Amino acid sequence: MLAAERRQIIAERLQAAGRVMVGELSGEFGVSEETIRRDLEWLESEGVAKRTYGGAVPCGGGKAPPPYAIRKNTNAEGKLVIAQLAAALVEEGDAVMVDESSTAYYTVQALRMLKDLTLITNSLEILRLAGEKEGWHVISTGGELHWDVMAQVGRHALESISSYHAKWAFLSCRGINTQLEIADSSDDIVQVKRAMARSAGHTVLLADHRKFDRPGFTALGPLDLVDRVITDREPSQEWKARFEERGIALSYKTN
């Protein structure tokens, strides 16, 4: 069973039973207790669970949505702020690459005010959204389906991306760590993001405040991979200094 499938079952169990226990889940799924703790940590980071001694309880009510919907509805207000700032960079006629992230989804929503746009993406959710916009040139990367994030990955996706050149690549991540690396959740997702960065004139990292000082499983690349970082809140002075030292532009909501 994939981790995403297991986490979805745990999320549904949380909503149905009101509580889950690490030991019980470990035995049920045939995995270590440490694996279950990592699952609960992930669900907590996505606003689905609150860890307790020996287990977890749900955050909020209602039926647990699928993994992509969980991410899309987490910190929606912050993602809307980022999307509006990102969309302000794009002009009529631009070619834009976006990854499978929920923040990229909000960005494409914000871009729908434009009449003429070329959009290249590996996200099935974004393809569905962009397909509703008459006049846009929408390109799918193709590739193998990474079902839990509804994204196309693999050799065919990478070859497709490398055949295009876009003005902008809008990418998100799992975290930005203090070793000045951008990190994400899996190698196949990271490879697609790297390919988009190589195929774009300007690479913009979309990272809400929760992503700062947060580890990820796979390194996407050094911070210098991007030209600009867009976030929803003013970062710490330490992070602002790091961006300035590397010549990386920073955008965030000021009020």
Q: Can you name the residues that pair with 144 across neighbouring β-strands?
A: 153
pLDDT, tens digit (0-9, with 9 covering 90-100), for 191-239: 999 999 999 999 999 999 988 988 766 889 999 999 999 999 999 999 9
Residue 15 has pLDDT above 80, yes or no: no
pTM of the predicted structure, to 2 decimals: 0.76
Q: What is the mean pLDDT of residues 93-98?
A: 98
Does pLDDT of 23 surpass 50?
Answer: yes
Residues in the chain: 255
Tell which residue, 197, 142, 144, 155, has the closest CA to residue 172.
197
Percent with pLDDT over 90 in the chain: 65
Looking at residue 76, what is its pLDDT?
80
Residues in contact with 132: Cβ distance below 8 Å, sequence separation at least 6, in sequence order: none
Confidence at 12, pLDDT banded by 50, 70, 90? confident
Helix, coil or strand: residue 48: coil
Q: Which pLDDT does position 95 carry in this prediction? A: 98
Pick 65 or 73 by higher pLDDT: 73
Q: Pick the residue with more confidence: 72 or 95?
A: 95
pLDDT at residue 218, rounded to an integer: 81
What are φ and ψ of residue 56, in 5° steps?
A: -160, 160
Say whether pLDDT at 119 is over 80: yes
pLDDT in tens, 135-157: 999 999 999 998 778 899 999 99
Mean pLDDT (whole number) for 243-249:
95
In the chain, what are the domain boundaries? Answer: 3-64, 74-251
Residue 67 is predicted with a pLDDT of 61
Query: In the structure encoding, which two tokens stand for residue 53, read together?
Result: 């001694």
pLDDT tops 60 at residue 177: yes
Structure tokens at 111: 């871009």
Angstrom distance (rounded) from CA 247 to CA 228: 9
Inter-helix orientation angle 76-87/102-111, to 10°? 50
Numbers of helices and strands, H then E, in the chain = 10, 15
Best CATH choice for the domain 74-251 from the list 3.40.50.10490, 3.40.50.720, 2.60.120.620, 3.40.50.1360: 3.40.50.1360
3-state secondary structure of 83: helix
Q: What is the CATH number of domain 3-64?
A: 1.10.10.10
Does residue 65 surpass a pLDDT of 50? no
